[in-house]
A and B are shown apart, each in its own frame.
Chain A
Amino acid sequence: MRAKINEFLELWGTDLWESTIQTFQMVGISLAFSILIGLPLGVLLVLTRPGKALGNKFFYQVLNAFINIIRSVPFIILLFFILPFTKMIVGTSIGVKGVIVPLVVYTAPYIARLMESALLEVDRGVLEAYEAMGIKTRHIIWHVLIRESRSSIILGLTIATIGLIGASAMAGLVGGGGLGDLAYRYGHLRYEVDVMYITVILLIILVQGLQSAGNRLAARLKKD
């Protein structure tokens, strides 16, 4: 048994390790950009709702429709559909670099939606209390709106990250690498089932770990 494991690791260890690193790279970098874009979009969605602080029906509806349109396109199609855009932004449309752009385009609107629903949970009265104390709107957004919904935000980001891991598996199609690509190329195309099983197990561990960590952090941040 031990000999078998050693043999397997010798053969595939390097590939597995590199693929894992690639997955982490793709997911980490895309997640960071997606949050930077998605969170403010979520805040805008909440604030520009008719009747809210910066209520602007036109802006809200345009943003709303825009997000829905991007979210309607399956990732695999989005990946190819925005190739020219990807090339314009990062100068290439292949490799880890080339896959990050479509991943961000795919994930940011999703995060915006998740943030919107998290932020909407905040009691309007608290926001009003701060408004009544003469606190600036940008302070209210950060110190009240986002702070009070931080537990739901963490849960939302956990969901988004797991979705991102799934989407990154398709990155192999543009040479992005990663665990999903490894499983597809060797496991499916070359019938090396062992590799496929191992990558799937790795992905399961990754997703389980992320979800538990997210749940635990959210519970700790929640104080009511």
Chain B
Amino acid sequence: MIELKGISKSFTGKKGSIHALKNVSLSVKKGEIYGVIGYSGAGKSTLIRCVNLLEKPDTGAVVMNGVDLTKLSPGKLREARSKIGMIFQGFNLLKTATVYENIALPLKLTGLSKQETAERVTKYLKIVGLEEKHHAYPSELSGGQKQRVAIARALAHEPEVLLSDEATSALDPDTTEAILDLLLKINRELGITILLITHEMNVIQRICDRVAVMENGEVIEEGITKDIFTAPKHTTTKKFVNTLFSHQIPDQMLTELNKTGHVVSLSFFGKASGEPALALVSKKFDVYPNILSGSIAQLKEESFGQLVIHLKGEFAEIEKALAFLRQQQVQVEGVVLDESKNKRIS
């Protein structure tokens, strides 16, 4: 659906040039929700702005449905853009226009008839759940409501793709949840492909099918959300995953515990998280599991849990127990002293 091929972009500022994007390639499939996560300055914002060419890449191609947008004439590009919806962190609504006008005006300017415009505004305001706010001005709305209007405005053009530029970053946790639910609904019911960027792992966790992690203008890791969560490879990815699972175990305690056994972290996925694997271990083997820390997260499709446990017993017996756990589709990882000293352990 969307393919970014070798996108590079640099900006020349007062302090010389900055390479915001270095040869970034990624592809978003039709109907999926694709997330790009990274810290600020990672280049993710530039990346999403390259998709609809708000930012012109220095090199590379932006291919949408087989058409390279970078090669289009200004007129054709406008046409293509009207099929790409975009929502922003700052909502970007007209302050001087009512909710109705905010959605209707762009439709009118793209040449839709008055009647069709009215129908669409009503339809999409209903979808975002703001049908009673037709005549309100943005200043009378809450942040979440403003974002809903912005979403309705984007949807009213009936796009195939929705780009979300940190759409939930300015919202409180509850509102974020509600907006994420709305995005999921749009994706499922209207079949709109969503490409979003965020710095919040819970956004990825909640709604994304696939995810790319960016750092210093490069994609450092990419894959299915589940895989990124269970087996993050890059340090930055691990840090992001740990923002959801922060198991803090003091170094001293860890050293003590390692003398009498083994500290391991167990990751349970989907079905495995429902089995009493740990109980079985203590029955079958001569080990004493002690739970140090645990948490569970709901991914888009499945649940994903993590436990940090201490297994007390003979090393041979512990090895056998761990082998059994692996057989039960539990991911087992040894816990070591964390070098970064923030004592977050994965």
Contact = CB atoms under 8 A, between A and B. Distances in A.
A143 B105 contact: yes
Nearest to B93: A126
Interface string B63-86: 000000000000001111110111
B109 A143 contact: yes
A144 B79 contact: no
B259 interface: no
Given A143-B109, A223-B137, A224-B139, A133 B157 contact: yes
A194 interface: no
Contacts of B54: 128, 131-132
Contacts, number: 70
Contact of A133 (B96, B97, B106, B137): B106
A139 B79 CA distance: 15
Contacts of B78: 134-136
A130 B150 CA distance: 11
Interface string B81-115: 11011101010111111000000011001100000
Nearest to B156: A133
Interface string B132-176: 000001110000000000100110010000010000000000000
Contacts of A181: none
A216 interface: no
Interface in B197-255: none
Contacts of B85: 133
A221 B94 CA distance: 13
Q: Which of A129, A131, A133, A148 has the most CB of B within 10 A?
A: A133
A147 B98 CA distance: 13
B52 interface: yes
Interface in B2-59: 52, 54
Interface residues of B, number: 31
Interface in B253-283: none
Interface string A129-165: 1111111100100011001101100000000000000
A125 B92 contact: yes
Contacts of B154: 133
Contacts of B157: 133
Interface residues of A, number: 23
Contacts of A128: 54, 88, 92
A182 to B, nearest CB: 41
A34 to B, nearest CB: 24
B92 A123 contact: yes
B109 A150 contact: no
Contacts of A136: 78, 109
A135 B92 contact: no
A130 B92 CA distance: 9
A129 B139 contact: no
A82 to B, nearest CB: 38
Given A125-B88, A224-B139, A135 B95 contact: no
A120 to B, nearest CB: 15
Given A134-B78, A134-B79, A223-B139, A129 B88 contact: yes
Contacts of A129: 86, 88, 92, 150
A134 B137 contact: no
Contacts of B90: 123, 125
Contact of B95 (A134, A139, A143, A148): A148
Contacts of A132: 52, 54, 81, 84, 86, 163
8 contacts: A125-B90, A131-B81, A132-B81, A134-B110, A139-B109, A147-B97, A223-B96, A223-B138
Given A123-B90, A132-B84, 6 more contacts: A128-B54, A132-B163, A133-B81, A133-B86, A134-B80, A223-B139
